[in-house]
Amino acid sequence: MSTPSPSTAADSRAALIGEAFRLEYVTLAWMVIEAAVAIGSGIAAASLTLIAFGIDSVIELASAGVLVWRLTVELRHGREFGEEAERTASRLAGALLFALAAYVVASAAWKLWTRQGAEFSLPGLIISVLAIPIMYLLARRKLQVAEVLGSRALRADAVESITCGWLAFVVVGALAAQLLLGAWWVDAVASLAVVWFLIREGREAWQGEECCDEHCK
């Protein structure tokens, strides 16, 4: 069985990096739309789940921007330099996930304490329903490319896409419950449903390779 030549391997890696760029550009475009609609409709409806969903979209924007920077570093300075940048990118992604988890917990606690409810939002429902298949497809392909490239930062970004998909499920469920039940506490309780996931994946991104290895065992 023949071994791929160095030039062939380099070309293959360059092609994968190019695909990673395209995935991040699609992510950037969608997250702009998702963030604007989710945050706008969340503020209008006083919905913590929608606002958290929109903030997660902003984190996705930042994470995608970090990935574009990391991949650009690799193309300009080589893989070894890029790996150093990747460690910084992974920690940034982890910090962003922790920040979102802290925001959700604090805001949900306040809403439960003050018995603040939320209104139903049709634009919020539409954007969250659309986000589910979009995030699934993006995350799946990012994980595939990240595995071949050996990129923790791209994997952390894929995890944030997965988180966005789970948040979309939560938002859909919360809005449906609001419409059917009209209970004031639904929004706050639903927003806490993804905190455990945010913390776990934030820890994985922050600790980098060691945590990733444990997760994959």
The angle at the Cα of 96, spanning 94 to 101, to the nearest 5 degrees, equals 95
> What is the sign, positive or negative, of the torsion defined by CA atoms of 77, 78, 79, 80?
negative
Q: Which domains does the chain have, with CATH numbers?
A: 9-216 (1.20.1510.10)
Please identify which residue in the block is written with the tokens 């092609």.
15
The rounded distance, in Å, linking the Cα atoms of 193 and 19 is 33
DSSP state of 3: P
Q: What is the mean pLDDT of residues 58-71?
A: 78
The rounded distance, in Å, linking the Cα atoms of 64 and 62 is 5
Above 50 in pLDDT, residue 37? yes
Q: Which of 190, 217, 188 is nearest to 204 (CA)?
A: 217
Tell me the angle at which helices 152-181 and 6-45 cross, rounded to the nearest 10 degrees.
30
Q: Which of 132, 120, 123 is nearest to 170 (CA)?
A: 132
Cβ atoms of 171 and 67 within 8 Å: the answer is: no
Q: Which of 128, 144, 126, 137 is nearest to 26 (CA)?
A: 137
Cβ atoms of 50 and 42 within 8 Å: the answer is: yes
What is the reported pLDDT for 30? 95
Q: What is the mean pLDDT of residues 27-37?
A: 95
What is the reported pLDDT for 215? 46
pLDDT digit string (tens) for 162-188? 878 888 888 898 888 888 887 788 888
